[in-house]
Structure 1
Amino acid sequence: MAVIVPIIPFLAGCASTRPVEGPVRLGQMTAVNGPRVRADRVIEDSRCPADVLCIQADRLIVQVTVFGGGWSRQFDLQPGVPVHVADGNLTLIEATPLPRTTRPRTRMRSYRFTFNFQGGL
């Protein structure tokens, strides 16, 4: 008599360790053309609210950990500013949502980040 063991629950647990594609939340890992990137924390978010016209420069700084073949390193990224990593450049290309005057502080679980890596060779 054969014993059938359901393996679906076991496979579901494996999915959480794989990098996701597209925008990621804080704590999630994404693969970007080679290295893997995890958004660790928002250091500063003084971006202009989406429902206001600002005349002052704003700033967003996100701390990330980049993982390569046997190494890891932390970086502070700002949108549109490439940082040299391994044989290329890593850029934070989008961060949502923008702050709103009706909700002055963005909840940490609401943030989504998109990264791009342009490899060297």
Structure 2
Amino acid sequence: MNAFRPALAAFGLSLFLAACAVVPGAPIVVGNPVAEGTPVAIDQPVRVGAVVVTPKQVVEDSRCPENARCVWAGRLIVRTRIDGAGWRDTADITLGETYGTHGHVVALVSGLPEKTAEAETPAARYRFVYEAR
């Protein structure tokens, strides 16, 4: 019985290490990303083409309120984490513009709710849609 202990210990260690293995080519992400085109909240990952995108923070929401008249349309900027195969990037992405990194291009195509003049939008109410370009 004692002769088998080293072999059994080595086998158990190999199983433990195999459980910690990183799958080559898989994005570094926590949680299950939803499908591209799905509106997502802050910290909710979404698969966009071959990468996973996660909105982290609203940096600026200076859009013209839907119930007001403005000289300038304003903009919505969202700090966004982009995870690819073995890499991670964070960028401030503006609604309607694209951002390229590591050979992938993503766009923030929608930010809801629309801004109103009555009150600031709480971060928890925002939903964002990203697409691959």
Pairwise same-fold verdict (TM > 0.5): yes
- Aligned residues with identical type, % of pairs: 30
Query: Is residue 2:34 matched to residue 1:20?
Result: yes
User: Which of 63, 68, 74 is matched with 1:52 structurally?
Assistant: 68
How high is the TM-score relative to the length of structure 1? 0.79
Q: Which residue of 1 aligns with 2:98?
A: 82
Distance 1:84 1:33 in 2: 13
Partner of residue 129 from structure 2, selected from 91, 114, 117: 114
1:68 matched residue in structure 2:
84
Structure 1: runs of 5+ lacking an equivalent: 1-15
Q: Which residue of 2 aligns with 1:7?
A: none
What amino acid sits opposite 2:86 in the alignment? G
Match of 2:108?
92
SS at 2:114's partner residue? coil
Q: CA deviation at 1:102?
A: 2.0
Structure 2 gaps of 5+ residues are 1-29
The Cα of 1:68 is off from its aligned counterpart by 0.4
- Of the structure 1 ranges 16-25 and 36-45, higher mean CA displacement relative to structure 2 is found in 16-25
Question: How large is the RMSD of aligned CA atoms in angstroms?
Answer: 1.3
User: Equivalent of 1:30, from 46, 66, 69?
Assistant: 46
**Structure-2-length-normalised TM-score:** 0.72
Q: What is the SS of the residue equivalent to 2:124?
A: helix
Aligned counterparts of 1:109 and 1:54: Cα–Cα separation in 2 = 26
Mapped to 2, the partners of 1:88 and 1:26 lie a distance apart of 21
Instruction: Determine the C-alpha separation between the residues in 2 that align with 1:45 and 1:37.
Output: 20
Stretches of 4+ aligned residues off by more than 2 angstroms: none
Residue 84 of structure 1: CA displacement? 1.1
Partner of 2:39, secondary structure, is coil
| C-alpha distance in 2 between matches for 1:56 and 1:81 | 17
Residue 86 of structure 1 deviates from its aligned partner by: 1.9
